[in-house]
Amino acid sequence: MLVGNQVAWPSTRGEREVFHRQCPAVQVLDHITSRWGIWVLLALNEGELRFFELRERVDGVSEKMLSQTLKNLVGDGLVWRHVEPTVPPQVTYGLTELGEGTARHLGGMFDWIRGNAETIMDARAKAEA
């Protein structure tokens, strides 16, 4: 719901309620944690890449899904897009300052998961037994 120029949403505590589907943070989180969003942000954290380089770097992503993911991340201000007016156009992507902060946190989470993957897999095997 729009109130003036501000987004308002229901909250029982009078603050931003992240568990409410209308919370703007939920949409951004959906884009960041989408099937491909995390991988695109982590890949771009290593440096700017052209579209085809991203497609090769992020194993398994289709052109359609990569395009949609990039569109969402550019729209959220996490990724910038530069088009060279060549034939065919060369499109390069990189992280904005906001995207760099996001990727830094995702990188920390990924490092933690990688460091604990064996323990997590052991716990999963015990739960399935």
Per-residue pLDDT of the chain (129 residues; tens, 9 = 90+): 444 445 554 445 444 566 777 778 888 888 999 999 999 999 999 999 999 999 999 999 999 999 999 999 999 999 999 999 999 899 999 999 999 999 999 999 999 999 999 999 999 999 999
Secondary structure class of 16 (helix, strand, coil):
coil
CATH number attached to the domain at 33-128: 1.10.10.10
Domain boundaries, the chain: 33-128
**Rounded distance between C-alpha atoms, residue 101 and residue 56, angstroms:** 24
